Amino acid sequence: MKSTLGKRALSSFVSLFVLIVLVFFLSRLTGDPAALYLPVDASEEMRQNFRELHGLNDPVLVQFGRYLADLAQFDFGESLRKARPALDVVLEAFVWTLKLALITMTLVTAAAIVVGSIAAFQVGRPFDRFASVLSLIGASAPDFWIAIVGIVIFSVNLAWLPTSGTGTIWHWVLPISVLFIRPFGLILQIVRGSMINALGSPYVKTARAKGVKNGPVIFVHTLRNAMLPVITVIGDQAAALLNGAVVVETIFGFPGVGKLMIDSILQRDFNVILAAIMVTAVAIFIMNILIDIAYALLDPRIRA
Amino acid sequence: MKHATLLAGALLATSAFNPAFAQDADVTVVLAEEPDLVEPCMATRSNIGRIVLGNISETLTELDVRGDEGLKPRLAESWEMVNDTTWRFNLRQGVSFSDGSAFDAEDVKHSFERAQSDQITCEISRYYEGISITPKVVDAHTIDFTTDPAQPILPLLLSLLTIVPSETPIEFTREPVGTGPYVLADWAPGQSITLERRDDYWGDAPAVSKATYVFRNDPSVRAAMVATGEADIAPSISAIDATTEMDQSYPNSETTYLRIDHAVAPLDDKRVREALNIGIDREAFVGTILAEGTDIATAINVPTTLGWNADTAVRGYDPERAKALLEEAKADGVPVDTEILLVGRTGNFPGATETFEAIQSMLSEVGFNIRLQMVEVAEHEQYYSKPYVQDQPILVGAQHDNSRGDPVFSMYFKYHSDGRQSGIADDKADDLVERATAATGEEREALWSELFGYLHDEVIADVLLFHMVGHARVGNGVDYTPTIATNSQLQLSEIGIK
């Protein structure tokens, strides 16, 4: 187990470094921040001053070296736009995204396991068919459309929920509902398939032959074994949410890291882009370790 | 906003005739993007200006955009020309900043010098470029500005200079201090900014006691927020959403045009430029892709601008004549078949892509070989400003905003040979720009007018398209009429409570 984690850490560190190199140089290829930040009629002198002020005059390799040196001291530089440390800006946003992802994934996981298991138990019957159609729609409907339709129905017409923002618990209902739909559809399908397989396996048949009731068959005997593929998908979906639910955050004015990333890319706020990528990459790395641990707990063969 | 509270307040106010109740009102304004700073010297940027300008920070002078008073006093009570190069401003007395310090001439001097500092990139400094301006304190409430060359419209230029206390450090601030009727009370990053009314403001107390700004990218969400009562004013919503009685359209001072680079063939031929102008059916866009109320443009500035020339007529759509002009040019050896690149900016305005696609198709029909390329803002800038890409003839689709009432903010950089975004190099135009910039009164108006006519009729400098309109949604609880300045400024004192 320890060596597995060690290897994981090392490979993640290498990936992270490659990511830094790629993002750093790619972002420098996208255009000159001086062209974007200064008014169109700014003089060359103003542009020059701006570049000097932000160290953009030096050769790119020198800039990169300086960036790495600062990074080693956890200094992610300043946001060009906000005149604040980039890391502070990113962490503030990341906390919001983390909350959103955690709540959504908890609800998704619980709902998908319950509905998927019942569907697996009733293969071919109306409940199963209904669940399958539901999951298919969920997995394929576009976020932005559901979000806008949700606002029109629940906020404008029915006046039940606020359109956007973060003030009260009611503000969370629409964004979470929209984010819920796609992973719910996907995970439900996996749970269902995996449960059908497990239910057909010899140890379940034995348990049933011994007269164990349905409830314990599902939740004690089958689920544990059926969960391994499910965990992978849950991990992927959670990673996607952590990476930033860009569309949903943008529409609902949710101050998360996805919206921040898009804004920073449009504004060429290099330091914020890099810090946001690093923070989410580290978060995803930690989540992968957690999934590995969950795997190991569920399947003793992996612990070796 | 709490409508119930407001309603109760309004009822009490009308029954008891007690203005104290009527003046106790909160409003919520929903904007498209959160400002990155609330730095007064960046107040010419729309997302900052709408919050800061006239609310937290004030200027010496103010352009009247609701009536025809022209330039009005604000922190300066009066101003006069001492000689050709010196303006004297007499400052208002008894004014204090929100930090309690008194406003005087030293603050004005510091504000100007800070805006000009090369340690920060203040946006307003661009308006003073190419002019040497020296402020000199005469006494606590009098300040002289000496300029080289002479600046007949210096009082107008100073309507953009936001005044900060002399103690303000050079670095950008996140805690603005000003003389305005409001102070920054709270800023929850990513969520909202709150301004509260000051008790010790020198002028009349505005009706709005507290304003909360929230930020939503999506225009239909902004519109929905006013409809549901979550917000009171959405200053920019899209034309598609502007269908209710709450929606008001307003000329937003943006002019859409295609900049022609006269240096590259075939665009160096006047017949070709005329064909470009009459090959586009401008009327077809209004009420379809673009909002009803959009005006056809004949100049880079809107008709309310000083010296705007009423004699310049729209060149009507005439595809047959356009074809004939191209044939004629071709017969004279002009390479009219050369591919022309039309560069448009995605998201420049609602319907930008569709507009440029339609233009491409119309111009292709009359015989042009046009390739359309939609790019995003930073790439667009490479085509828009000098040094230009010149490997092929290029038309740059763009918008220009000037709500300041004087063409000086447009003409040099759009039409002078040395202008950063000028497509022409014409001695007469240069001369007119230079003389008009230095002239005053009727002479100034006449020179600008001559320049407008010359560029449109003689040079056929650009393909001028539309003066655009914006749409605002205003909730039923408030009384607010958007103006041509609404894109850059939203003074809370102009909001009434119903």
DSSP assignments along A203-263, one per residue? HHHHHHHTT--HHHIIIIIIHHHHHHHHHHHHHHHHHHHHT--HHHHHHTT--SHHHHHHH
Contact B189 A92 (CB under 8 A): yes
Instruction: Kindly identify which residue of chain B lies nearest to residue A47, measuring between CA atoms.
Output: B121
Contact A43 B421 (CB under 8 A): no
Q: In this structure, are A52 and A92 located in the same domain?
A: no
* ipTM associated with this complex: 0.78
What's the start-to-end Cα distance of chain B, in Å? 13
Q: In this structure, are A170 and A277 located in the same domain?
A: yes
Closest approach of A24 to chain B, Cα-based (Å): 18
Q: pLDDT band for B1, please (50, 70, 90 cuts).
A: very low
Q: In this structure, are A159 and A216 located in the same domain?
A: yes
Residue A92 sits at the chain B interface (C-beta within 8 Å): yes
Interface of B with A in 177-206 (CB under 8 A): 189-191
What are the extents of the domains in chain B?
Answer: 60-169, 251-469
Q: pLDDT band for B15, please (50, 70, 90 cuts).
A: very low
A154 CB-near residues (< 8 Å, 6+ apart): A160, A161, A174
Q: pLDDT band for B24, please (50, 70, 90 cuts).
A: low
Contact A165 B214 (CB under 8 A): yes
Count residue pairs from A and B with Cβ separation < 8 A: 109
pLDDT for B281-297, tens place per residue?
Answer: 999 999 888 888 899 99
Whether A102 is in a domain gets the answer yes
**Beta strands B182-188; B132-139: pairing state:** unpaired
Q: By C-alpha distance, which of B34, B74, B64 is closest to B51?
A: B34
Q: In this structure, are A37 and A160 located in the same domain?
A: no
Residue A89 token pair:
């800006």
| Dist CA B126 CA B32 (whole Å) | 25
Kindly calculate the radius of gyration of chain B based on its CA atoms and give it in whole angstroms.
24
| Dist CA B274 CA B253 (whole Å) | 25
- Kindly provide the b/e burial profile for residues B452-465, where b requires at least 16 CB atoms within 10 angstroms of the residue's own CB: bbbbbeebbbbbbb
Question: Does the pLDDT value for residue B20 go beyond 50?
Answer: no
Whether A149 is in a domain gets the answer yes
Q: Decide if B405 contacts B304 (C-beta within 8 A).
A: yes
Question: Does the pLDDT value for residue B402 go beyond 70?
Answer: yes
Per CB-CB distance under 8 Å, the chain A contacts of B377 are: 36, 266
* Residue B135, φ and ψ in degrees, nearest 5: -85, 140
Instruction: Kindly identify which residue of chain B lies nearest to residue A260, measuring between CA atoms.
Output: B190
- The reply to whether omega before B181 is within 30° of 0 (cis) is no
Going from the C-alpha of B232 to that of each of B51, B216, B324, the distances in angstroms are: 15, 14, 54
Three-state DSSP class for residue B313: coil
Substitution target from B121, B170, B488 for chain A, most A beta carbons within 10 A: B121
Residue B211 sits at the chain A interface (C-beta within 8 Å): no
What's the start-to-end Cα distance of chain A, in Å? 6
Predicted model pTM? 0.81
Contact A41 B216 (CB under 8 A): no
- The reply to whether omega before B40 is within 30° of 0 (cis) is no
Contact B385 A40 (CB under 8 A): yes
pLDDT for A177-211, tens place per residue?
Answer: 999 988 999 899 899 988 888 888 887 778 777 87
pLDDT for A127-148, tens place per residue?
Answer: 989 988 888 888 888 888 889 8
Q: Decide if B488 contacts B409 (C-beta within 8 A).
A: no
Per CB-CB distance under 8 Å, the chain A contacts of B123 are: 39
Q: In this structure, are A203 and A127 located in the same domain?
A: yes
Q: In this structure, are A51 and A196 located in the same domain?
A: no
Instruction: Kindly identify which residue of chain B lies nearest to residue A88, measuring between CA atoms.
Output: B189
Whether A78 is in a domain gets the answer no
Q: What is the CATH number of the domain that holds A158?
A: 1.10.3720.10
pLDDT for B138-172, tens place per residue?
Answer: 999 999 999 888 888 889 889 989 999 999 888 88
pLDDT for B169-213, tens place per residue?
Answer: 888 888 899 999 999 999 988 889 999 999 999 999 999 999 999
Alpha-helical segments (H) within B228-316: 270-278
Q: What's chain A's average pLDDT?
A: 83
Q: pLDDT band for B132, please (50, 70, 90 cuts).
A: confident
Total H helices, total E strands in chain A: 14, 0
Closest approach of A60 to chain B, Cα-based (Å): 19
Q: By C-alpha distance, which of A288, A102, A114 is closest to A215?
A: A114
Q: By C-alpha distance, which of A237, A235, A243 is closest to A276?
A: A243
Three-state DSSP class for residue B476: coil
Q: In this structure, are A98 and A230 located in the same domain?
A: yes
A88 CB-near residues (< 8 Å, 6+ apart): none
Q: Decide if B22 contacts B13 (C-beta within 8 A).
A: yes
Residue A28 sits at the chain B interface (C-beta within 8 Å): no
Q: Decide if A280 contacts A246 (C-beta within 8 A).
A: no
Q: What's chain B's average pLDDT?
A: 88
Q: In this structure, are A138 and A58 located in the same domain?
A: no
Contact B421 A40 (CB under 8 A): yes
Position B238 scores a pLDDT of: 84
Residue A151 sits at the chain B interface (C-beta within 8 Å): yes
Q: Decide if B56 contacts B201 (C-beta within 8 A).
A: no
Per CB-CB distance under 8 Å, the chain B contacts of A81 are: 36-37
Going from the C-alpha of B429 to that of each of A69, B418, B455, B460, the distances in angstroms are: 53, 11, 8, 12
Instruction: Kindly identify which residue of chain A lies nearest to residue B128, measuring between CA atoms.
Output: A42
B454 CB-near residues (< 8 Å, 6+ apart): B428, B429, B432
Contact B37 A30 (CB under 8 A): no
From B36, B190, B381, residue closest to A81, measured CB to CB: B36
Please indicate whether residue B400 or residue A293 has the higher confidence score (pLDDT): B400
Domain encompassing residue A12: 2-71
Sheet-wide strand order for B76-83: B76-83, B86-91, B142-148, B132-139
Residue B280 token pair:
């586009």
- Contacts of residues A106-112 at CB distance under 8 Å and 24 or more positions apart, as own/partner, are A107/A176, A107/A180, A108/A180, A108/A183, A108/A184, A108/A187, A108/A234, A108/A237, A109/A187, A109/A234, A111/A180, A111/A184, A111/A188, A112/A183, A112/A184, A112/A187, A112/A188, A112/A191
From B123, B230, B381, residue closest to A35, measured CB to CB: B381
Query: In this predicted structure, which of A260-264, B133-137, B325-329, B423-427 has the lowest mean pLDDT?
Result: A260-264
Position A244 scores a pLDDT of: 63
Closest approach of B410 to chain A, Cα-based (Å): 10
Whether A276 is in a domain gets the answer yes
Whether A244 is in a domain gets the answer yes
Residue B379 sits at the chain A interface (C-beta within 8 Å): yes
Q: In this structure, are A134 and A241 located in the same domain?
A: yes
pLDDT for B311-365, tens place per residue?
Answer: 999 999 999 999 999 999 999 999 999 999 999 988 788 788 999 999 999 999 9
Closest approach of B172 to chain A, Cα-based (Å): 7
CB atoms within 10 A of CB A78: 18
Substitution target from A28, A29, A40, A161 for chain B, most B beta carbons within 10 A: A40
Residue B51 token pair:
């919050």
Q: pLDDT band for B218, please (50, 70, 90 cuts).
A: confident
* Residue B343, φ and ψ in degrees, nearest 5: -100, 120
Residue B377 sits at the chain A interface (C-beta within 8 Å): yes
Residue A42 sits at the chain B interface (C-beta within 8 Å): yes
Contact B385 A148 (CB under 8 A): no
| Dist CA A34 CA B381 (whole Å) | 11
From B190, B221, B381, residue closest to A151, measured CB to CB: B221
Q: In this structure, are A203 and A55 located in the same domain?
A: no
Q: Decide if B429 contacts B407 (C-beta within 8 A).
A: no
Greatest distance between any 2 Cα atoms in chain A: 86
Contact A35 B382 (CB under 8 A): yes
CATH architecture for the domain at B60-169: Alpha-Beta Complex (3.90)
Question: Cα B221 from chain centroid?
Answer: 24
Contact A39 B119 (CB under 8 A): no
Q: By C-alpha distance, which of B287, B292, B324, B248 is closest to B484?
A: B248
Contact B33 A43 (CB under 8 A): no
pLDDT for B82-110, tens place per residue?
Answer: 988 899 999 999 999 999 999 999 999 99
Q: In this structure, are A113 and A249 located in the same domain?
A: yes
Per CB-CB distance under 8 Å, the chain A contacts of B36 are: 79, 81-83, 267
Please indicate whether residue A27 or residue B314 has the higher confidence score (pLDDT): B314
Per CB-CB distance under 8 Å, the chain B contacts of A92 are: 189-190
Q: How many domains does chain A have?
A: 2
Whether A77 is in a domain gets the answer no
Residue A88 sits at the chain B interface (C-beta within 8 Å): no
CATH number, domain B251-469 = 3.10.105.10
Substitution target from A29, A38, A41, A259 for chain B, most B beta carbons within 10 A: A41
Q: In this structure, are A168 and A65 located in the same domain?
A: no
Closest approach of B384 to chain A, Cα-based (Å): 8
